[in-house]
């Protein structure tokens, strides 16, 4: 090979190495730019999300707070935060983050937006909530609690009861075993267990009454007396059913002539509330409703179940894929919340002495569901089946081990996890229900 050829080879290799070096440098530069842009956008997003979290934390501590922050310095950038209330109880947090960094291969300032919605947590999301846990009251081997469970007291278990949903307590748990033949202490928490969790038991009847006055139905005696209201729901085959209602002054014996009303006319927003007195309830519910009654000092405020109170279609059906198990019925569009400022009582009458079926979430602010005149000498009344949920201040007696009264079965209506009866009681604290980025 002559000298000219060698020179050409050297020039060719030089050009080739120059191209490779250029591409390598360019790739390295792009990689650095991509990494820098990724860092900038991630940091920017974190700034906006942190602003939303900071505002939410303030609201968790002070639910009445609304306001704003402007150009709040944070992690090399800054944040604008705005908190507003809407739709009575909902809160919207808007957090906008600002950061100067590398975006689209340029050094400039960019923004990121986070919006979150908070609202009070409805008590209907619990399969079973009890404010007070009775001293000496145990859930034992063979007991099954369906749906989310919470107590503000200390949960007592004996042996191995089963909890199908998440369990939370404020006062912790005490589990014992190997006594009375109940086996070792081994409660099963299939949905997990967390403590301490504080969910204060509250009831704001003003909100329900206001909703009733706005677009529902409020019963109130013109003379200021306590009033008994009887509601008999009926499915007439239409999209919205009817209710037959009558009233009497509490303590008297004569009911007014029953009036039958279409529910979309009587209570378009689904709220029927008796300001002061008692409520007598039965029938077949067609639609979504919250019904209830208030009290005066320590008197009244009872909801008496005179017979079954059920939906047109059961909220639960047999699971064809798993015989013996149930699933949510997709055809059930009905929903009921029952609110007693005292407690719910099953009437001791002919209709209820051979089982009672209850489709509803039952809220007992001053007690728990019980049976009229219940005692160990009462006859066996079959099964009290609640498909929905039970919220109560403290558990009451519904049956005895000698067979008197009812055997109680509570199945959680899982639709209550995401949907609630209209204006059903909620906590005074907020939870995040939506997060947009």
pLDDT at 14: 72
pLDDT band of residue 19 (cuts 50, 70, 90) is: low
Q: Which range in 299-313, 318-332, 392-406 is most confidently predicted, on average pLDDT?
A: 299-313
What percent of the chain has a predicted confidence (pLDDT) above 90? 68
pLDDT in tens, 310-340: 999 989 888 888 887 888 998 899 999 999 9
The answer to whether the beta carbons of residues 48 and 114 sit under 8 Å apart is yes
The answer to whether the beta carbons of residues 133 and 171 sit under 8 Å apart is yes
pLDDT at 83: 95
Among 91-105, 252-266, 321-335, name the one with the lowest average pLDDT: 321-335
pLDDT band of residue 64 (cuts 50, 70, 90) is: confident
> What letters, b where the CB count within 10 A reaches 16 and e where it falls short, cover 142-162?
eeebbbbbbbbbebbbbbbbe
pLDDT band of residue 46 (cuts 50, 70, 90) is: very high
pLDDT in tens, 353-369: 999 999 999 999 999 99
pLDDT band of residue 76 (cuts 50, 70, 90) is: very high
pLDDT at 81: 96
Distance of CA 115 to the CA centre of its chain: 21
Instruction: Give the HSE-up count for residue 332: Cα atoms under 13 Å, Cβ half-sphere.
Output: 25
The answer, yes or no, to whether residue 111 has pLDDT greater than 90, is yes
Instruction: Give the HSE-up count for residue 272: Cα atoms under 13 Å, Cβ half-sphere.
Output: 28
Average pLDDT over residues 102-115: 91
What percent of the chain has a predicted confidence (pLDDT) above 70? 95
The answer, yes or no, to whether residue 1 has pLDDT greater than 60, is no
The answer, yes or no, to whether residue 274 has pLDDT greater than 90, is yes
pLDDT at 22: 64
pLDDT at 431: 81
Average pLDDT over residues 53-80: 91
The answer, yes or no, to whether residue 32 has pLDDT greater than 60, is yes
Average pLDDT over residues 381-401: 93
pLDDT at 119: 86
Average pLDDT over residues 258-275: 95
């Amino acid at each position: 090979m002559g000298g000219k050829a060698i020179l050409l080879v050297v020039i060719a290799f030089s050009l080739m190495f120059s191209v490779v070096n250029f591409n390598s440098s360019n790739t390295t530069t792009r990689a650095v730019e991509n990494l820098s842009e990724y860092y900038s956008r991630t940091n920017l997003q974190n700034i906006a999300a942190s602003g939303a979290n900071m505002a939410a934390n303030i609201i968790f501590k002070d639910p009445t707070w609304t306001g704003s922050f402007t150009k709040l310095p944070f992690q090399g950038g800054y944040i604008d935060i705005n908190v507003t209330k809407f739709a009575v109880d909902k809160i919207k947090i808007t957090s906008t983050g600002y950061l100067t960094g590398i975006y689209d291969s340029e050094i400039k300032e960019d923004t990121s937006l986070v919006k979150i919605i908070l609202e009070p947590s409805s008590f209907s999301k619990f399969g079973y909530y009890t404010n007070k846990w009775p001293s000496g009251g145990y859930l034992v081997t063979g007991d099954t609690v369906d749906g989310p469970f919470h107590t503000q007291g200390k949960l007592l278990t004996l042996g191995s009861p089963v909890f199908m949903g998440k369990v939370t307590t404020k006062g912790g748990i005490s589990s014992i075993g190997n006594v009375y033949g109940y086996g070792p202490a081994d409660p099963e928490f299939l949905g997990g267990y967390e403590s301490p969790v504080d969910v204060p038991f509250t009831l704001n009847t003003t909100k329900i009454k206001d909703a009733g006055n706005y677009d529902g139905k409020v019963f109130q005696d013109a003379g200021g007396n306590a009033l008994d209201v009887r509601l008999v729901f009926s499915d007439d085959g239409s999209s919205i059913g009817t209710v037959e209602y009558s009233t009497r002054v509490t303590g008297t014996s004569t009911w007014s002539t029953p009036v039958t009303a279409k529910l979309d006319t009587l209570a378009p927003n689904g709220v029927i509330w008796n300001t002061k007195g008692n409520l007598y309830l039965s029938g077949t519910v067609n639609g979504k409703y919250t019904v209830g009654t208030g009290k005066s000092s320590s008197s009244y405020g009872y909801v008496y179940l005179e017979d079954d109170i059920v939906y047109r279609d059961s909220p639960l059906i047999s699971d064809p894929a798993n015989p013996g198990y149930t699933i949510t019925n997709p055809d059930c569009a009905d929903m009921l919340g029952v609110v007693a400022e005292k407690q719910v009582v099953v009437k001791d009458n002919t209709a209820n002495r051979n089982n009672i079926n209850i489709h509803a979430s039952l809220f007992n602010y001053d007690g728990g569901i019980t049976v009229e005149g219940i005692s160990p000498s009462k006859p066996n009344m079959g099964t009290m089946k609640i498909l929905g949920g039970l919220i109560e201040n403290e558990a009451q007696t519904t049956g005895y081990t000698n067979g008197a009264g009812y055997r109680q079965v509570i199945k959680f209506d899982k639709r209550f996890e995401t949907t609630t009866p209209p204006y059903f009681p909620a906590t005074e604290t907020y939870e995040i229900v939506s997060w947009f980025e």
